[in-house]
Chains A and B, each alone.
Chain A
């Protein structure tokens, strides 16, 4: 069958790529639609690429990503932090929009897509270009998503009581105090506003292309959502039947370590190793911060494998090895892995859970703060504020997660729950993509909620109607009683009254 893939550049692509490769191995013909300028959407034997022009060059793309990554280390006041985070995200998000705009206006690419009879479309809905394309090409679609931003997967679908479903950026757990619930309630309102900021221009774009009014939630509902969720990590909440949970797909395969890394691990002795990576977005850390980190790392007996592409800190200790890239999952899977210093992106978190390695987390942006909070409340890691932490903080955090047995026990418990599943998440993902191709969608999983207006959905019209009836009945009963009373005792009463008034 023919599958069109509309990916999202950056780390999101990594988990999608794995599913795409698996599908290709099963004999499906796959076309990946890529902007001609991109970071990770490379050539592959597993799929054909179809590129489309974009209004920026590689230089600009790299610059934008670099400044996005580096900005996380710029100090700012707590009040300005949300605004900074928003502006910083927009550096990358704006570019996605430009790319989408140029794609949807490129008639050559659009006609190529129309002529190729695809069976389904597989996309990441965070930036809804693929969502719009699926509607334009009238293709059944499958989304791969992690749940950021704006709880996109739940808007207009699953009920999300603000009383126990924490909103993004709040860093709350599912057990909230009154002030937290208050903040969550307000965050929910702000989330709607953020949704508007991020997506209303896409809706305009889509309306232009489809020549009708388009609301994104309405498009979302026709799709099947592969969510990188696992309730070992997420808090339990209402979900919908068109959601398939495949958290931990990227954890499964364990390769052998290359000679280089094997040698490092073996040389670490009884103390073992600590794996340290802040993800692909961060290429450089300000020198002062990097030196502080290097100092802390030098104070522990473990061997440190640090993925870092910036300048080598001058005070780097002997136990710390800088590498440009490291086989993160394979290293974490090694029995000598003692701790994992991570930016707590969802991929890293799942790899940590899967391999049962306690974490020291330095969340940088997006969902990472919330991810870190989740692992912290489950006693599987310690969170540090990368801007404020000192060398001592990092040293203590590392010693705590390595020496305090409870961290290891907790992460092992999570790991055993996470890995105990009836079917591997990758197989599940592949199954459902094929399912949508076979059956041309999954309309029987589409809830009828989408055909209702908001006041119908909340039964406000019904409640109003019933209330009106009750009030009418009460009113009539009251009036007739009053009338009855007047008939029976009325004369007397009125006489008395008039009598009384006369005595004045």
Chain B
């Protein structure tokens, strides 16, 4: 079959690659479309790349990423941080929106897509540009995602999520909340929609213009046939799910290669103490000097060899046991029996690689879902979370020594690892199966809940409750009135007489 892929630049794209490769090997023709200005999305041997012009350059995208990585180290007061983040999100999302708008208004490009007669569309709905294309071309869509901000994924799948035990993202709550945490959860739920409107509602207007019918963001997202969610309940808390959600967490963990000579040598030289793998992900290229020196100092105090993926300036106090590299084969290193700990920004990819390979973690969450990821691993006793802004060299040293020397961390992560890896089918195969399924059957309409066809008050049965209440009240009213009437008939004369009598005595 023919598959159209509309990815999103950044780390999201990397986990999608495995699926695309597998699909191509199974004989499908895959076409990937992306803006001309893309950083991670490049030509590949197993798909056809088609780029469309956008009104921004590669440098703009790089700058946005770099700034995102840098901004997390800014020591600003809370409110200023919120305002800065808000402005940055607004700026970046309007850039990406303009890219989407250029694609949709590119009549020639869109016509050529239409003529290609694809069977299905695979997209990351983090930005719903692919969703608009799917509706424009009337293609069944498969979504590939971690989670959407502001519970848009829950809304679009009509998946109930009781606020009492399903923690909101960015709340740092667990699934066991005390009263105040549940209040916080509720307040986030009441306000999150408002925050998300900045990013998402422009897509609604854009879609309304392109599709020539009134659509909301929810209308854009909800027709998806299958939601491939990069979650696993070893990491995430159990909650209600819908039949068209397929869980493929850990999809990026499988592919393991032998270490290159360079890294093999590092690992072998580490001796009995083994190695610590340290990476803050592809977004962070530089750390403020003071912070970097603090980190370097802490790393120097442990006996393990530390492999640190860092592209910034070399801290002057770097100890002998710390090796700076521009890039490291993270999953392969974590899979080595000598890996003792993993210092990570707790992005979902890293977390799953840590779980998969059973390496306890020291987590320095930076932004987005990373705080929540760290919280989840911490409550499961598989890692220690540090606040990257506030931590001292001592904190980092202690955290590392704890996860390495306190056996419970290793035991917990190994238990999670064995649960995670014990599955009837590999997540990659599962993802490939469902993409093919949608291509074969032109969607999966039998998995679409009827809830989509109800208004909100019907969904919550408010009309039914109101109707029943009206009946009950009417009956009560009638019964009361007839009783009152009956009473008056029977005892009325007497009563009235008495009353009038009484009033007369006054």
Contact = CB atoms under 8 A, between A and B. Distances in A.
Interface string A450-468: 0110001111011101100
A344 B247 CA distance: 33
Interface string B432-445: 01100100110010
A485 to B, nearest CB: 31
Contact of A238 (B159, B185, B187, B424): B159
Interface string B417-431: 011001011000110
A161 B158 CA distance: 11
Contacts of B451: 161, 163-164
A338 to B, nearest CB: 25
B473 to A, nearest CB: 16
B14 interface: no
Contacts of B240: 158-159, 238-240
Interface residues of B, number: 55
Contacts of A420: 437, 440-441
B164 A162 contact: no
Interface string B240-271: 11111001000000000000000000000000
Interface stretch (A96-104, A229-237, A320-328): A229-237
Contacts of A163: 451, 454, 458-461, 464
Contacts of A447: 165, 175, 237-239
Interface in A269-284: none
B179 interface: yes
Contact of B186 (A446, A449, A452, A466): A466
Contacts of A231: 243, 446-447
A445 interface: yes
Contacts of A449: 162, 164-165
B429 A236 contact: no
B55 interface: no
B446 A459 contact: no
B111 interface: no
Contacts of A438: 422
B401 interface: no
Given A174-B449, A235-B450, A159 B461 contact: no
A240 B238 contact: yes
Given A232-B446, A422-B425, A462-B182, A448 B241 contact: no
A433 B233 CA distance: 18
Contacts of B448: 236
A445 B233 contact: yes
Contacts of B186: 459, 462-463, 466
A423 B424 contact: yes
B176 interface: yes
Contact of A181 (B175, B237, B458): B458
B441 A164 contact: no
**Which residue among B241, B430, B440, B464 has the maximum number of chain A CB atoms within 10 Å of its CB?**
B464
Given A164-B459, A459-B163, A417 B446 contact: yes
Interface in B442-488: 444, 446-451, 453-454, 458-461, 463-465, 467-468
Contacts of B453: 164, 175
**Which are the 6 A-B pairs with shortest beta-carbon distances?**
A174-B450, A448-B175, A159-B160, A164-B450, A447-B238, A422-B433
Interface of B: 159-160, 162-165, 175-176, 179, 182-183, 185-187, 233-234, 237-244, 247, 418-419, 422, 424-425, 429-430, 433-434, 437, 440-441, 444, 446-451, 453-454, 458-461, 463-465, 467-468
9 contacts: A162-B461, A163-B454, A181-B461, A181-B463, A242-B238, A417-B441, A422-B434, A446-B238, A456-B164
